[in-house]
Amino acid sequence: MIEPLDQQYFKIMLAENYNEEEYSDLDKMFTKASKIATNDELFYLALNGNTFVRVHSISPLIERNDKRIIYLYRYYSEFPLSYKQKMGCVISDQDMALSNIRSKIIYSIKNFEDYQYIKEKDEKELRLFFSEDEIRTFEDFKLDDFKNYLNEFNKIDKKFIPNRIETLEMIKQAWKDEKIQSQY
């Protein structure tokens, strides 16, 4: 399941020019594989896969409400994984814990709240905004679990974010190149 993903990933990464079509194919390959993967397999990949696989293994675990998402958040807070993500024409730095895991939890809560608001207002309009799959997902959505994830993330952040800031300051102090140092 993973070997073809790895081959495609490294082919793209080693190429001189970024090929959006090949990257899109890689995304489709992973989506297909994640549908048949167990939570244990996805959890393993979220810790041990290449960067693409790690980043993309998080979403299905969140969708499946796997409680180990807290462990992954803690792990990637203690051992940060930074990567770059292209959104349109902009390439931005991302952080596995903060911009991937936390943001997906917040996004899930926000979508659920939107769903509830529309459902209360006019249930007939639901199908204009949400697919049947999304509606089924929202019917089983456990808001308290997702709010609990954020509470746990806040506790983890209090422990690890100061350490990350301190490490960054130490790196800046030891850095020799003034041009690069000023970017931080």
Q: How far apart are CA 111 and CA 98, in angstroms?
A: 19
Give 146's pLDDT tier (boundaries 50, 70, 90): very high
Question: Within a domain: residue 138?
Answer: yes
Give 1's pLDDT tier (boundaries 50, 70, 90): low
Question: Within a domain: residue 35?
Answer: yes
Question: Within a domain: residue 96?
Answer: yes
CA distances from 23 to 54, 107, 184 (A): 15, 24, 30
CA distances from 150 to 37, 77, 91, 144 (A): 26, 14, 27, 10
CA angle 168, 84, 167 (to 5 degrees): 10
Question: Within a domain: residue 179?
Answer: no
Torsion, Cα of 127, 133, 137, 140 (10° steps): 90
For residue range 11-31, what is the model confidence (pLDDT) as tens digits? Answer: 665 556 666 777 677 788 888
Question: Within a domain: residue 177?
Answer: no
Which residues span the domain enclosing 33?
3-162
3-class DSSP assignment, residue 130: coil
**Mean pLDDT estimate for the chain:** 82
Question: Within a domain: residue 83?
Answer: yes
For residue range 25-50, what is the model confidence (pLDDT) as tens digits? Answer: 778 888 888 899 999 999 999 999 88
Predicted TM-score (pTM) of the model is: 0.79
Q: Which of 1-15, 24-38, 92-106, 136-150 has the lowest mean pLDDT?
A: 1-15
Domain count of the chain? 1
State yes or no: pLDDT of 82 exceeds 70.
yes
Question: Within a domain: residue 180?
Answer: no
Question: Within a domain: residue 171?
Answer: no
